Structure 1
């Protein structure tokens, strides 16, 4: 596995665009503007937000304060399920644009499959309309199982296949079949909660490997994720952690250590309730 060279390394998307493989998540951020601004100041170029996070405006304020032009930054947001209709999706994108202070959004996702097949289709058609209007560059999904994607692609009017599927992904929740499916279809997997919100970083396997490499447990987990070929969007509201999390580009895990981390997978145990892609029709 080739070493990831820097924080701006990208993966290609089906649209011909690309997505930075390392980003910054803002979910449940208590200090979103300051945290996102720190991330940008420390070299991050990919910001992830969503309507339901209620911090699109704060994310946009961080971009404005950074003085970076939008063409230097990749921004993702997501449509919440209470707007899953064709017009609702357009209205949602327009609202996101205003809050973010942007003219176009790089990536826009349907946040869950939960509202069901008809609502998913209508919302997807609305996102396609947003692409045609130039409001959004690339569209995708989040927390979707293969059957949701297959079902969508069979519907009349669907012209664009999802370019991204954002899912919970970390050593204890590897979603192997879902990741395999996405890679076969050319769909980029974006890993949210790659650090398990810190809950599993004391794992004996992870801490032993961290000691071996002279790295932190968080860096080991993030490095493992990169070597799985997924995009990762760790979050933190602490500047030192934001800096620590990007210390993963000038080294790599050896195959035996990758295999040891692979063995930590707990199948679907790590994902419960509303965020389980397989729990919804």
Structure 2
């Protein structure tokens, strides 16, 4: 893997056939105002993917920021179109009521105003088997009706993935978005996803800055002449993940993804893998019943 393999232009092909930017900006815990300022900065810096959710309460602002930037000739100097930007949202909670989920997807689509949602995920496996499967049927129908391009899940453990795949879905999930970083490597779930051809998106790839001063991280950042954040993003990419680093600061938003100038050796990747302590920085529904 050559050291300049990864940039904001890097893409991964999803099982749905669509491509997804391999580096994206996570919009978790961003206020509407922060989203309105961060997305234009990110688009101008070269970001092409944005990860929102119903639970983030910023879908309207995310869609507005993307639309405004695309329609501004002074910002969008290269004439990018809607299809050049990848937008993700997620269902707040699974329900056994199919109609409720269908309406919820339509309201997300309305909120962003982007014409379609590139990737729509079930945000967690909470609710039980019937709710998960009914909710997935609603995602399949949203895809077939053109509201959503690709579907997936988030925070699904191995059992939930096997359950969904075992239900013989009409459309297979393209993505499972879970917390992954060197301090929570999630090897079991990643292995299950690999078995089913599901792409893994890594949220919290910087471990929410909780381990930036870890001695191993600091030593390797010094060795590779990069920041601890760049090291952790590069680790994600070399594992074939799609990391969603989050920052509201323009300089950091640009800096975090400058990872083409170095490549972590196999030995040092293994050293970082060894830091796993199953650190959960927010929530972990992957073992929900």
TM-score between the two structures when normalised by the length of structure 1: 0.94
- When residues 173 and 163 of structure 1 are mapped into structure 2, their CA distance, relative to the original with a 3 A threshold, is same
Q: Does the 8 A contact of 1:141 with 1:162 survive in 2?
A: yes
2:48 to 28, 38, 45: 45
Q: Which runs of 5+ in 2 are unaligned?
A: 71-79
2:114 paired residue number: 102
Return the offset for 1:63: 0.1
Deviation at 1:252, TM superposition (A): 1.0
RMSD in angstroms over aligned alpha carbons? 1.6
Alignment of 1:113 onto 2:115: no
Contact 1:81 1:112 in 2 (8 A): yes
Match of 2:176, SS?
A: strand
The reply to whether residue 171 of structure 1 matches residue 182 of structure 2 is yes
1:56 to 59, 64, 72: 59
Which deviations, in whole Å up to 9, do the C-alpha atoms of 1:41-97 show, x marking residues without a partner? 110001000000000011112102211421110111101106563112221111111
What is the TM-score of this pair, normalised by structure 2? 0.92
Which of the numbers 182, 188, 191 marks the counterpart of 1:180?
191
Equivalent pairs counted in the alignment come to: 277
**Relative to 1, partners in 2 of residues 1:63 and 1:83: Cα closer, same or farther, differing over 3 Å?**
farther
Mapped partners of 1:140, 1:81: distance in 2: 14
- Matched position secondary structure for 1:102: coil
Deviates more, 1:250-259 or 1:24-33: 250-259
Of stretches 47-56 and 6-15 in structure 1, the one that deviates more from structure 2 is 6-15
- In structure 2, the CA distance between the partners of 1:51 and 1:83, relative to structure 1 (3 Å rule), is farther
Task: Flag structure 1 segments of 5+ consecutive residues without an equivalent.
Answer: none
Structure 2 counterpart SS, 1:277: coil
Matches of 1:191 and 1:154, distance apart in 2: 24
> Are positions 1:271 and 2:280 aligned together?
yes
